[in-house]
Amino acid sequence: MQIFLASSNPGKLREYSELAAGSPIEFALLPNLYQIPQFEENAPTFAENSAGKALHYSSFTKGILLADDSGLVVPSLGGAPGVYSSRYVGQNANDSDRYQKLLREMQGLDGEGRKARFVCITSLAKEGRALAVLSDFADGVIAKEPRGSGGFGYDPVFFFPQLKRTYAELRREEKNQYSHRGRAFRKALAFLEGHIA
């Protein structure tokens, strides 16, 4: 079964393809994404953005579409960057710009003040109809400086205590096993395999 991904991010496609390895699910980026009217992710919650994106883009294709919204939540910053994780510095910023801003805002914070949570909401829709909305998370701590060269986004500063490394220091298989996206996706995969059956 081919599932379209409502994204133009090749890193995200690679992660989802790796997560689906060995299953009957195959992922592809949604064709002609830039020719489709863009969905504005301006809702206050990850769930509303994820479900809205899935419903919107699925109405432009046949078959099942997966959309997610994920981000980093830091309680000591009032939940920021939250739903603005990818737009934390502005539209044209890169990953380093975003996590460097986060590190600046967290200067002087220690212990509980550095706790953080990665959240992922995964939504499945077909031709404008919602099939499922699934969520999961991973708890960690914001490191005081970036470490590692893997992953993307805030991975270099998200320290995962269970493995004593940042996400950017994990091997792909490890990140896929423990990450918020991996956990939410396994719920989606179970749903899809049941759907196929």
Q: What is the pLDDT of residue 197?
A: 54
Range of the domain at 74: 2-196
196 versus 136: which is more confidently predicted? 136
Q: Which range has the top average pLDDT, 32-41, 70-79, 175-184?
A: 70-79
Q: What is the mean pLDDT of the chain?
A: 92
- Measured CA to CA, the distance from residue 159 to residue 147 in angstroms comes to 9
Q: How many domains does the chain have?
A: 1
What is the pLDDT at residue 196?
Answer: 65
- Given a cut of 70, is residue 26 above it in pLDDT? yes
Instruction: Report the side by side order of strands in the sheet with 165-166.
Output: 26-29, 2-5, 64-73, 115-126, 129-142, 158-160, 165-166
Asked if residues 97 and 87 have their Cβ atoms less than 8 Å apart, the reply is no
Q: What is the pLDDT of residues 82-123, one digit of tens each?
A: 999 988 998 889 999 999 999 999 999 999 999 999 999 999
Q: From the candidates 68, 69, 136, 155, give the one annotated as an active-site residue.
A: 69
CA–CA gap between residue 68 and residue 120 (Å, rounded): 7
pLDDT of residue 98: 96
Give residue for tokens 């890193």: 11
136 annotated active-site: no
- Residue 95: its pLDDT value, please? 93
Phi, psi of 126 (to 5 degrees): -140, 115
- Distance separating alpha carbons of residues 78 and 82, to the nearest angstrom: 9
Answer whether residue 150 shows pLDDT above 90. Answer: no
Q: What is the mean pLDDT of residues 37-66?
A: 94
Query: What's the CATH code of the domain at 32?
Result: 3.90.950.10
Identify the residue with better confidence: 80 or 25.
Answer: 80
Q: Which residues of 153-167 are buried (b: 16+ CB within 10 A; e: fewer)?
A: bbbbbbbbeebebbb
Q: What is the pTM of this model?
A: 0.90
Closest to 50 measured CA to CA, from 109, 119, 96:
119
Which one, of 4, 20, 1, 32, lies nearest residue 123 by Cα?
A: 4
Q: Which H or E element spans position 141?
A: strand 129-142
